[in-house]
Amino acid sequence: MNKWWNKLTEPLSNKEGRKLNKTKYLIAIGIIGVLIILTSNWFQPSDSPSPALDEGNVPSQAGENAASAQTPEMTDSISLLEKEYEKQLKPLLENIQGVSAVDIMINLSSTHKKVYDKNLIVGKQTTKENDKNGGEREIEDYSREQQLVLVRQGDREVPLLTQTSKPEVSGVFVTAAGVDQMQVKAWVVEAVSRVLDVPTHRISVLPKQ
């Protein structure tokens, strides 16, 4: 290694004062640079750190888990409401003349719907433009935005609830003794329609065996 280096830098120590061979000098600088890079790589750890989790995906996955966790809860709430409606309607139908042994199934499309008060904010923006003929015109843009009305409740603010509507009934199925008579069946259909506020074409009433 020393002999190679002395031979490469021989022009630097030549007593005759010859000029430095630029080509050899540049080659020497390049080799030194390569050696430095290789040496630095040797001292670095071979195992590269595992890539960090993409932070942008973490909330998304958490949101999906939360959404999937809410679905069973919503289903349970609907089922409870359906059973409550069935429990209340069954004795009422059995009080109708000629009707007995009622079994009823109610399907709800959702739970109670809550309507919150909102403020309507209307914005207006006027822009003036000049045309090629020296004329001037105004362009008006309107924007509409709705914001929830918040009210103070203790130490926090909550949306102002203005209305709570009943769940929408998607279908009703009734089996009972005595509904094989047309008049009795019509009474049952009318009672279910009025109590649940559901159109008659969504009500099925059949006689029991």
Q: Does any domain span residue 67?
A: no
Residue 28 is part of which domain span? Answer: 2-42
Q: Six-digit token pair at 183?
A: 């008049």
Q: Does any domain span residue 47?
A: no
pLDDT one-digit tens code per residue, 133-174: 777 777 888 888 878 777 788 888 877 777 667 778 889 999
Q: Does any domain span residue 48?
A: no
Of 22-31, 113-122, 132-141, give the lowest mean pLDDT range: 22-31
Any idea what the CATH number is for the domain that residue 171 is in? 3.30.300.30
Q: Six-digit token pair at 61?
A: 């996955």
Phi-psi region for residue 140, left (φ > 0), alpha (ψ -120 to 50) or beta?
beta
Give the other-Cβ count within 10 Å of 148's Cβ.
12
Q: Does any domain span residue 31?
A: yes
Looking only at Cα atoms, what is the longest distance across the chain?
134
Q: Does any domain span residue 100?
A: yes
Q: Quick one: pLDDT at residue 53?
A: 38
Tally the domains of the chain: 3
> Do 157 and 125 share a structural domain?
yes
Half-sphere exposure of 110 (CA within 13 A, CB side): 8
Q: Does any domain span residue 49?
A: no
Region 202-208: mean pLDDT is: 92
pLDDT one-digit tens code per residue, 62-93: 444 443 444 556 566 778 888 888 899 999 99
Alpha carbon separation from 177 to 94, 184, 204 (Å, rounded): 9, 10, 14
Contact 159, 118 (CB under 8 A): no
pLDDT above 90: residue 39? no
d(CA 29, CA 37): 13
> Do 94 and 175 share a structural domain?
yes
Provide the whole-model pTM: 0.46
> Do 131 and 154 share a structural domain?
yes
pLDDT above 80: residue 180? yes
> Do 173 and 93 share a structural domain?
yes
> Do 133 and 95 share a structural domain?
no
